[in-house]
Amino acid sequence: MDLQFEELLKQITDFIKTEATTDTIVGEQFQLGEFKCVPVIKVGMGFGSGGGEGVDGKIRKGEGLGAGAGMGIEPIGFLVTKDNEISFLEAGKSHGLAAAFEKVPELIEKIVTKKQQAEKETV
């Protein structure tokens, strides 16, 4: 078996260099009023391979090889600049009033459950 892992790894690395960029995942930096926003991503990857060969008696000989790879890309936020100030705004995390509104359904469910429990106790 003649597998060229170095060539395969180079091809995968070249693919990651061209595809795993903020431009291809979430877009290019943009201007929002006085603020310049630059997207930030997180890239994770893993590779694995294994192989072996064996002989069963005098007749059978076997070889086996396997390889696998996985990659995850996730937008995690934006670097936001204004004049000489820079800050990081997380993606997917709500802040302030938006966070409060996200908790409203959960709060309503708790109120209804407590009311039902109170009604059961009075009966």
Tokens of 105: 């359904």
Beta partners for residue 63, in sequence order: 53
pLDDT of residue 51: 82
Rounded Cα distance between 24 and 78, Å, is: 15
Taking 3-state DSSP, the helix, strand and coil percentages for the chain, each rounded to the nearest 5, stand at 35, 45, 20
Hey, what's the torsion of the CAs at 107, 111, 116, 121, to 10 degrees?
A: 130
Pairing mode, if any, of strands 30-32 and 35-56?
antiparallel
Tokens of 60: 């059978």
Q: Could you give the angle at the alpha carbon of 61 between the alpha carbons of 60 and 65, nearest 5°?
A: 140
Closest CA to 68 of 51, 52, 48: 48
Q: What is the pLDDT of residues 21-59, one digit of tens each?
A: 666 666 678 888 888 888 888 888 887 878 888 887 777
Residue 61 has pLDDT above 60, yes or no: yes
Q: Categorize the per-residue pLDDT at 10 as very low, low, confident or very high, splitting at 50, 70 and 90.
A: confident
Q: Are 38 and 79 in contact (CB under 8 A)?
A: yes
